[in-house]
Structure 1
């Protein structure tokens, strides 16, 4: 995985955390894309009139119309999952905005995930951008009162650890 980082202040442990988070999110997205392609193929085969009940046991119990509808639902769920991505961090002190860009010939969407972490000394903004296997992490602690980078970094890492325990 190609990794780049930049920051207003150097926060290497925070950057490393978000690089690992991006790697995990991209791996999950790749698996979900595989699911999506499988369901799209199933839908195309069903629409062409093919009987898939010998291959897919679940279709033995339903008619063609129900099989098509359930497959469409699965396709929608895959697309929704890929749009949201796999970026959540469970914390009331961390807000998240995710933007997904689907590019035709790329395996997974390109993501921009922006985290706003509220800490004692203010707010840190962390932006993670992906393109294929390239991950860039940008941190911005301009809104923090603490002048010592290590203190800001420690406060962010503390919140990330607490979020991981939830």
Structure 2
């Protein structure tokens, strides 16, 4: 099921939010989905024809490490796994690292970059994901953060996280 940005929300309104929130140092917020998940944000990349619909579908906190390949958190850290659905709605192939494109912000504004760590929550995206126009994929991006950190938001941007359009989902 494809969802779109909430009615009445515009890019300029979210850009203003970004300017008022210096702890969230991002080029421009495209959308902020209250409640955490289920909202689809349409993002553009830096190249011609790069467009992706990104949906945050699940947050697993804490996420148990996968049995065989992921080292267990050391008691000071914990894993948080975020499941995304990516759909290429552009005219160019999407070839990027979803983990590098995703960031988790805690309540103090500290930013954590996504990792390709498998967890018991489900399989991660591959290191490099290629989607032809019309193609879609789902997978998890894992974050390692301090045990006492309170996740506040998740961000996603194309081009390894460096594109001007940045989608943001607030976490409850």
TM-score calculated relative to the size of structure 1:
0.28
The structure whose residues are more often helix, as a share, is 1
Structure showing greater Rg: 1
TM-score calculated relative to the size of structure 2:
0.28
The structure whose residues are more often strand, as a share, is 2
